[in-house]
Amino acid sequence: MSADLNTLSLADLMRLKAKGRLDIHELVAACDRRVRARESEVRAFEHYDFAAVENQIKALGPDILPLHGIPFGVKDIIDTRDMPTTWGSAIYADHYPARDAGIVATLRSAGGIVFGKTVSTEFAFLDPGKTRNPINLKHTPGGSSQGSAASVADAMVPFALGTQTAASVIRPAAFCGVVGYKASVGEFDLGGVGNLSQTMDSLGFFTRDAEDLVILRQALLGSPSDDAIPERKKWKIGFVKTAHWQQADKAYRELIEKMGEAFATDGHEWRVMTVGPDSTDLADAQVTVMAYEAARARMPEYRDRAAELSPNIKALIEQGLSIPLSRYQSARRLALKAREELKRALLEHDFLMTPSTTGEAPATLEQTGDPIFSRMWTVMGAPAITLPVGRGPAGLPLGIQLIGAVGEDGVLVQHAVELQEYLRSRA
């Protein structure tokens, strides 16, 4: 059984733990074997040292903590006191932070074990890292949290941390066939997390099961009362095609439309709708806000070491520097207006649903895929969860994205758990 421990979800591991049947030494050994067997192909880790893992296990006290001995991956823009944090940049190749990021310290305090630093694109922007999609190594795993998504999808760790400023959790999770949760802006502390956009950066998690998100939220936040939702036999689902619907692959659009028909057949309400201003305007607003804020966040590197930056990040910074304050403020006002309209829409629906991506992971390692179906939700600061819903024509995973109201993450997570069970029952 120990050889399969690395394939279990966090929820399954917790059930073994509750029965006194989880040996954390066997778990980390199984994860280590998987990394050693697959890392040369998948390339999920920027830094991996099993000796550091063993040191953390030795420092654990009695098994009284909720995540006692559970290994997890950390995106390489998130500070760790005992491992380098490079932000995907050669500029910081030898950078060792003085302390953990708040989220890492909290997970360690809950008994979690940092298993390694997972690959990030440069400063969590566009340039691909070295990671391959574990489902098909010739395809991108997405970005920018590519190493975290791949490490969970390939059973190297049960969960991993990521971040999102455009689509950096939702897209790689969908491409790699795992659950991805992008939190509301401000839901989790971002101290010690490399920043790109002060108003849009959000923490994210990659797991194998939606139930895992409940466990992680409990370990990090306690048991918020708003995580409980009334038992509901029928959902009211608002499906938002957005103005970019035709950019999704035909087979993917057909799969989603069949899902809608199945919901309706089972008595659920499936309403095709719009939310907020024109979604093309919101996508443009996200680009404007990201460029303007990234230019300020990454000014130290641009000012002092521009020659070591990639053309893409330099272009983003220069784009941001050229944006007038009035245009930036207009984009922010549009996003805040849309956030209020989203809140009103969710008074009449249990959750909204929209494509996670344009389709399967592209057959390339030169780019990370189109973020278009996440931009509008990210600029609003809304929580989003992608669940696997099958495979496309090339045999790669497809996901469906759930959207909730800002600050109502617990409710969205519970809906994701229920929806996951529903989808499995129909598979």
Taking Cα atoms as reference points, which of 425, 427, 371 lies closest to residue 164? Answer: 371
Model confidence over 142-170: pLDDT tens digits? 999 999 999 999 999 999 999 999 999 99
Count of CB atoms within 10 A of residue 267's CB? Answer: 9
| pLDDT given for residue 351 in this prediction | 97
Does position 2 have pLDDT exceeding 50, yes or no? no
Let me know if residue 2 belongs to a domain. no
- CB under 8 A, 24+ apart: contacts of 321-324: 321/295, 323/288, 323/291, 323/292, 323/295
Let me know if residue 394 belongs to a domain. no
Catalytic residue selected from 9, 89, 145, 168:
168
Domain of 172 in residue numbering reads as 9-226
Q: What is the pTM of this model?
A: 0.97
Let me know if residue 239 belongs to a domain. yes
Q: Same domain, yes or no, for 149 and 204?
A: yes
Let me know if residue 3 belongs to a domain. no
Catalytic residue selected from 9, 89, 120, 144:
144
Q: Percentage of the chain surpassing pLDDT 90?
A: 94
Instruction: Indicate the residue among 226, 241, 268 that finishes a domain.
Output: 226
Q: Same domain, yes or no, for 72 and 185?
A: yes
Model confidence over 29-78: pLDDT tens digits? 999 999 999 999 999 999 999 999 999 999 998 899 999 999 999 999 99
Q: Same domain, yes or no, for 418 and 306?
A: no
Q: Same domain, yes or no, for 297 and 161?
A: no
Q: Same domain, yes or no, for 57 and 178?
A: yes
Q: Same domain, yes or no, for 53 and 119?
A: yes
> Cα-Cα-Cα-Cα dihedral of 153, 156, 161, 163, to 10°?
-50
Encoded amino acid at 115, one letter: F
Model confidence over 213-242: pLDDT tens digits? 999 999 999 865 555 565 667 999 999 999
**What does residue 40 show for φ and ψ, rounded to 5 degrees?**
-65, -25
Q: Same domain, yes or no, for 87 and 61?
A: yes
Number of compact structural domains in the chain: 3
Q: Same domain, yes or no, for 140 and 154?
A: yes
Let me know if residue 395 belongs to a domain. no
Catalytic residue selected from 75, 120, 148, 197:
75
Model confidence over 344-383: pLDDT tens digits? 999 999 999 999 999 999 999 999 999 999 999 999 999 9
Does position 171 have pLDDT exceeding 60, yes or no? yes
Let me know if residue 1 belongs to a domain. no
CA 215 – CA 65 distance, rounded (Å): 12
Model confidence over 175-200: pLDDT tens digits? 999 999 999 999 999 999 999 999 99
Q: Same domain, yes or no, for 69 and 122?
A: yes
Q: Same domain, yes or no, for 237 and 372?
A: yes
Let me know if residue 69 belongs to a domain. yes
Q: Same domain, yes or no, for 148 and 28?
A: yes
Q: Is residue 168 annotated as part of the catalytic site, yes or no?
A: yes
Taking Cα atoms as reference points, which of 358, 178, 403, 174 lies closest to residue 253? Answer: 358
> Residue 167: which CATH number?
3.90.1300.10
Q: Is residue 234 annotated as part of the catalytic site, yes or no?
A: no
Q: Same domain, yes or no, for 180 and 261?
A: no
Model confidence over 130-141: pLDDT tens digits? 999 999 999 999
Let me know if residue 57 belongs to a domain. yes
